[in-house]
Structure 1
Amino acid sequence: MQTNQLVLLFCTVLLLLGLVAFFVGRTKAARVRSGGGKMFAQPDQYAWFAVLSTAGPAILVGAVGAFVMLLLGADIPTFYLLAASLVVAAAGLVVGIAQVRPNFHARQAIERAIRMALASAALISIFTTFGILFSIISEAIRFFQMHSFWEFITGTTWSPGDSFLASAGRGDGSGAQFGSVPLFAGTFMITAVAMLVAVPVGLLSAIYMSEYAPQKVRTVAKPVLEILAGIPTVVYGFFAAITVAPIIVNVAGFLGLDASYNNALAPGIVMGIMIIPFISSLSDDVINSVPDTMRQGSLALGMTKGETIRDVVIPAALPGIISASLLGVSRAMGETMIVVMAAGMRPNLTANPLEDMTTVTVRIVAALTGDQEFESAETLSAFALGLVLFAVTLTLNLVSVLMIRRFREKYRVNNL
């Protein structure tokens, strides 16, 4: 029997056991209650506890077995794993029915199970983060055994050379240089251009929609603005390469400047347009969450509407605005397609946004695609770049958290 058929059979049997647990548990609880027994919960709650005790352990056993098989490489036959899960389900059914008695708090037991499930869901993101970090570090260490970490973070030339031949024994890789400064300089340059476009436009549009726009205009304008978030990034890439880049070249030529068609300004501007809906929508929600009594109190003290927005509403919403801006920064630093199509793939250390340059994510994609050996320094450099990018993003998150706490404490003190 194939695996998908076994899984379908397992789900069917588990569903049947759950139905049996529910109806038998409810019937027994109702019978005990009608016999004069004082129950601590309703019959349906005892029934749902019987279902949890039946399906919960079985699903847990199956998940643990799948984890061991997929991640640890253990050879566990699927049939035996699913059969063991069903045996556990049957045992849970017996235990759940046996717990239907007057002195058992079924409602509290269900609440504890739900609390444990919610805590497990919260831990998934933490474990996932550590898993990602571990997978990156393990491969990055192999790269730093080939090349100096100091030269990697301070070098100004990125030229893998014949490093891919060295892994095949057909070269020494002596000419390879892995200086990441040009890549991170390009990343920060394009991200800065994007945020210079996205933050003012997004914040001002959020202020207009939340404070000035009539309800009819807001009902139409906000969904239309959020449509930008659903456009594929490859479409933005076409727009940047075909429309924005030639306009920048023509404007630069009119001003007497030399601009490349693969410049950093075009993807930065288009990326900023792409990020506008994120900042605008989140900022709008945060500004709307500011209590209206604060606005009324400010207006009652003689302040104008503009002064109220500047001195009352924006400071109160500033932590949320910072969070929205940080989300935009993370999105800009992780963007790849727009940069490939509009800025090129040449590592170029320059402060001129009219020249071509590339970003860290573009080089990661280039290193992990193609015909290079996985053991080559060029391929492993992708993990080193990912590790440094992870550290940079984590630092930005920590700085933003400190800033948010500072503004919250300052605003709380000023309003005591």
Structure 2
Amino acid sequence: MKKELDLNTIINTLQRVLPSIQKSIALHEPLFTGNEWDYVKKCLDSGWVSSAGKYVSLFEKQIAEYTGIKHVIAVVNGTAALHTCLQLAGVRAGDEVLMPALTFVATANAVIYCGAVPHFADSEEKTLGLDPLKLGNYLKDITELRTVGCFNRKSGRRLKAVVPMHTFGHPVDMDPLLDVCRRFGLALVEDAAESLGSLYKGKHTGSWGRLSVLSFNGNKVITTGGGGAVLTNDSSLAVLARHLTTQAKLPHPWAFHHDMVGYNYRMPNINAALGCAQLERLPEFIRQKRALALRYQEAFAGIEGVRIFKEADFAHSNYWLNILLLDEGYSGKREKLLELTNRQGIMTRPPWTLMHKLIMYQDCPRMDLACAESLEKRLINLPSSAFLAE
């Protein structure tokens, strides 16, 4: 006979891990204890607070050095970065773009901005991200390769790109996914919005796609208040990304000449100033977040019915958000556990609603989503701010 899930033990364990001096513990908060005030004041004193200024180029340079990716274009948010990347990857109206059903809605929304159609794929429990083996077998069944690309035999639309998302900071298994992209002629755009500081086989996430994105929203590992970035090793794409995100304005001392439809997507200097200060603390933030993840893992070891999600063998995760994963038989207890923890002042959260369950995406094409649907029922995000490890 199956044992009852001991919710009190779970809550008591969380309380032992987390600081007792805080009455309410948020899911993820920024930490400003470095040069943030100084750099933002210098930005204000200079008068350069908009999309031109030294901190924008400095921030881009520092992100490039940290990730090892040649070109970085700072933009207003991660969604704008993803929209730009999809455009540069050749996604056009009527195309289909493969992505996990278990993702934040921005991944799907950016596809719609291009006039394209999201096509939802399943995840694997090992990484929480796209399942390359299952995706490859699915594409083998539903696609037709033509001289002009890969086509969905059922819808008649071209399949143009794959957007893996590194869920809660945990890297997708990229090597077999790259093989799938090569076999079916698909562009790879990495949604690395949550994975700054995460490595796959020793290289930073975002290094495998032709283009990739980062997010610096207020709840990310580092923040610029609001912000994102386009990353690429392709110099010509980098030039075009910078041009496209600056209203496609041609350089001129005073005249306004534009040669294509562009976007007002460039990051303001004042946000970049905040980001430069945050980047100085990033190695420490990653160390603290990994220490917190280890504390969770040790505290919950041996508690029946639940486990703390751990990085795969090939990964070095930033553990952006820690995850309590209920065993299959206990998924019915998730809502009660969310209610009890939040009542205790411990902010916990379920994952995003699966994309195909949202009203605007319920008619989009999708494969069997058994793993994603299971994860959605069993997953709880735990408080993960870097300072909680202190």
- Which structure's CA Rg is the greater one? 1
TM-score when scaled to structure 2? 0.25
Higher helix share: 1
TM-score when scaled to structure 1? 0.24
Higher strand share: 2
